[in-house]
Amino acid sequence: MKLLLSLLYILAVLFLLGWLGLQIKTKPFPPYAEKSGELKTISLPAGLPAPVNRFYKTVYGDQIPVIETAVISGRGAMRLAGLDVPIRFRFTHEVGQNYRHDIDLTFFGFPIMKGYDTYLDGRGFMKTPGGVEQGAGIDQGSNVSLWAEALYWFPAVLVTDARVRWEPVDNTSALLVVPFGAKQDVLVVRFDPETGLMQYVEAMKYKSAAGKKVLWINSIWIDEGKPWIRLNAEDTFLNVDVHDYMRADPY
């Protein structure tokens, strides 16, 4: 009996320590090495679908910033084996072209596992301690992420990039048509009728290099029903030099 109680006590302590380790937030990534560059502006283009026009007027007014690069950093959580594991992240964009995602999983506030993925020159690449994943499905999924992240964090690019177009659907929704090599991807964007802000973003995208496309709504895979990652952006740097950083291997 004493042995059993000792084992139960040890398990309880280990469980408590594990739980505590997942409650402590890590320090964020250090501020980016450069300060934001100059932001030029252009007039809001005419002819946008009504809900899109209202959205841009609400977010920016009549003048739209011309954004060429962006570095978004913050903290959040990633679902892993059913647990919400604290993370810190840095998402770096050459907007409308390429990106790099850096994510550190943390325990007791210390990074314990590093992963990153890139979308460069139309090719997606994911590298984690579990291995590397790439291929046609990753390319398409990465392209959708490229534009969806722009929509969430720097939507100005979606009216300043001539390759992008908005198509009307009704008074509260529109189609966002974006380039994907020689093809196109389409995202359905639904706006709140009261605030004019985005409410839902939907797309069909691949979860992996193989398999079929899955409906993806507000970053939630429809076959999972709950978010696999939560991101809280804490600082943003715009129009900074990111070329070498995006292409450096962190391992």
pTM of the model: 0.87
Separation of alpha carbons 181 and 195, rounded Å: 34
Separation of alpha carbons 125 and 18, rounded Å: 32
Which tokens go with 225? 């029903």
Contact status, residue 37 vs residue 238, Cβ threshold 8 Å:
yes
Tally of domains within the chain: 1
Q: What is the DSSP letter of 125?
A: E
**Residue for token pair 């084996």:** 81
Angle (CA) 41-46-50 rounded to 5° is: 115
Contact status, residue 60 vs residue 44, Cβ threshold 8 Å:
yes
pLDDT at 250: 67
pLDDT tens readout for residues 172-201:
999 999 999 989 999 999 999 999 999 999
Mean pLDDT of 213-239: 91
Mean pLDDT of 13-27: 55
pLDDT tens readout for residues 93-132:
999 999 999 999 987 777 778 888 999 999 999 887 677 8
Nearest to 72 by CA among 142, 176, 146, 140: 146
Q: Is the pLDDT of residue 11 over 70?
A: no
- Identify the domain containing residue 150 by its residue range: 2-247
